[in-house]
Amino acid sequence: MWQRDRNNNHRPFHPNEIDLKRETTGCGKFMFFFYLLLLIAYVLFSTGKIDVLYQKFETFVYEIIDTDSRAPKTNAVREPLQPKDESAADIKIFDKYFLDKHKKPADDEIVNHFIKNNPYKTYASDRNILHLMAIDNRPYPIVKLGIRFPQFLNAKDSNGICPLSLALLRSSHNSVDAFLMFPNINLKIVDNSGYTVLHYAARSGHFRAASMALEKGVSPNEVSVRGLTPLLIAAQSENLELVELMLKYGGDPMIKAFDKNCFDFAKRNPNLMQLLYTNTIRKLNNK
């Protein structure tokens, strides 16, 4: 096989000859940089540096979002979502991942509808807008409206039930998590039937709400009008985690309601019975 040299003369083609220009084409450069990026990614991942870089990038992005959200809006639909008093509730305390994850269709429209159409209006049983959002399990409007109208957070309806207790009653756990984000949420509220937030948390099985209420000093032995304690409700529901938690805070398994105590409810659950007996023996040994 013949080819032309630089002087345009024919000469035989040698199979070991390499066209250097072809070896440095765009494809070769691309593969070089591709493998280089893979090597860098492997080093970052193996040393744990990739998590640090991700956190820095995440912080940078959210700083941009926060800056943009505080700028004057030309869109009238989004403008009402900004709290009147930034010092009353700092938006940075709220988990943006939580809000984005649980945001439902029409949430923004719902928020703006209530703001524009007499937000102080009361509904059936003297409930406010946060009661309604708790029933419908809409955490996004709860946070947005709770920031703008903090006086609604702990307001009671005609039965003495606050929005948080209503969310627990309906087992609207996402809404419960939204209410618990507010530092000014009142966990010591008692309704007209003598039920505390801890009673409702025991009924719905919400561990975090129960734990926070106990930390605030709500007693697991608080007796309702019907004689029920939070510990009795947790035992009746056979919720071992909540029973164990309340026992640590001084819960008394011997308190009766309708002639039954925690041991009576534990007869059908050996694990619960063992937990109660272990707690009783430990208390006797500590005396």
Residue type, 179: F
How confident is the model at residue 187, as a pLDDT? Answer: 98
How confident is the model at residue 26, as a pLDDT? Answer: 56
Write the pLDDT tens digit of every residue in 216-275: 999 999 999 999 999 999 999 999 999 999 999 999 999 999 999 999 999 999 999 999
How confident is the model at residue 68, as a pLDDT? Answer: 39
How confident is the model at residue 44, as a pLDDT? Answer: 63
163, 179 in Cβ contact below 8 A?
Answer: yes
How confident is the model at residue 64, as a pLDDT? Answer: 42
How confident is the model at residue 27, as a pLDDT? Answer: 61
- Any residues with CB less than 8 A from the CB of 31 and at least 6 apart, and which? none
Domains and CATH numbers, the chain: 79-186 (1.25.40.20), 187-287 (1.25.40.20)
Listed as ranges, residues in the chain with pLDDT below 50 are: 2-3, 13, 15, 17-24, 61-90
Predicted TM-score (pTM) of the model is: 0.68
How confident is the model at residue 85, as a pLDDT? Answer: 43
